[in-house]
Structure 1
C-alpha cells in the first residue's frame, strides 16, 4: 500500500482466501484491505496514539439515513454522553479532496450536527470547526488534541 502523510503504526494484516485484510481496532475484526481502509486505519491510530482520542468514543462505519437513502459515516467521535462531536470522511490516496467530498460530509452533518468535520485521503487532510451561530465553518491548521475539543 501507499505511503501516507500519517505516522506509521504496527499494522496487522492477514490473507484470507487470497484477499488481504487489516485489523480494525474499533470494530475489533479484520476487514478487507482497500486503499480507503488503509487511510482509515492509519488515521484512527493517529488520533488515538498522537492526539489522545479515546478509542472507546470512536466508531467506524456509522449507519445513517438520509431520507430513503441509507449511508455510512466513515468515522464518528462521540463525547462522554455519546453525542456526536466529529465526523471523519476518508478517501483513497488516489482520490482528490474536492467540493464533492465536502458536500458528502456536510450531508452527514445535517443529521449529526457535530462541532468538527475532517476529510482525508491520507496525503491531504482538512479539518473544519463548525460555527453554527454565524452559519459558517472555519478551517483549522491542525487537528486539535482531544483535550482541546
Structure 2
C-alpha cells in the first residue's frame, strides 16, 4: 500500500475503531460504502465521512435507510453538494453534517459552509467534522439561532 499518499489512514481520528473494506486497484485505494453499496475512491474527506456514518449507525442508532450522501442542492442559484443528511421518520431533514479532511481545521468559515447549506435544507441539527474535532449545533426555536451542543442525540429521542 502506498502509505505516503495515504498517510491519513494512520491518523488517530476521534472515533471508535471501525472495520472497513479497503481495496487497491490501479494504484488507487477504494473504500466500500455500506450505504451506497459500492467502492469509492478513498480520499481524506471520504475517510472521515465513512467514520462518521459508521459512528451514527453503530453508536447513535441512526437507520441506514434515512441517510442521504453527497447530494446536490441549489443555494442562490449555485449548485452545492452536502456530505451527510439524515431524515427523521416522517422524511423531514433532521441532521446535516459536513465532513472535512483531517488536515482542515474547523473554523468560522467551515461552520458557515454547513449553515449556508442548511438554509436550503432546514435540518434541526448540524455538524461538522474533520475526524479529529466534531462540532454539533441544534436549532433553538426560541432564539431562532443554533446553539452548540456537546453530542448528537440518539436516534428517536
Q: Which residue of 2 aligns with 1:118?
A: 127
Matches within 5 A, 1:83-98: 83-98=92-107
1:136 matched to 2:150: no
Q: Which moved more, 1:64-73 or 1:93-102?
A: 64-73
Distance 2:75 2:154 in 1: 30
Structure 2: which 5+ residue stretches go unaligned?
Answer: 1-8
The yes-or-no answer on 1:46 pairing with 2:55 is yes
Q: Once the two structures are superposed, what CA deviation does each residue of 1:77-134 show, in whole Å capped at 9, x if it has no partner?
A: 0012221111000001110000111110111111011100011111000110011441
Runs of 4+ in 1 over 4 A off after TM superposition: none
Query: How many Å apart are 1:58 and its aligned residue?
Result: 0.9
Q: Distance in 1 between matches of 2:68 and 2:80?
A: 15
SS for the counterpart of 1:85 is strand
Greater share of residues in strand = 1
Count residues with an aligned counterpart. 148
Deviations 1:16-41 (CA, angstroms, capped at 9, x unpaired):
21100001111111111001100000
Q: Which runs of 5+ in 1 are unaligned?
A: none
* Secondary structure, aligned partner of 1:77: strand
Shift of the alpha carbon at 1:54? 0.5
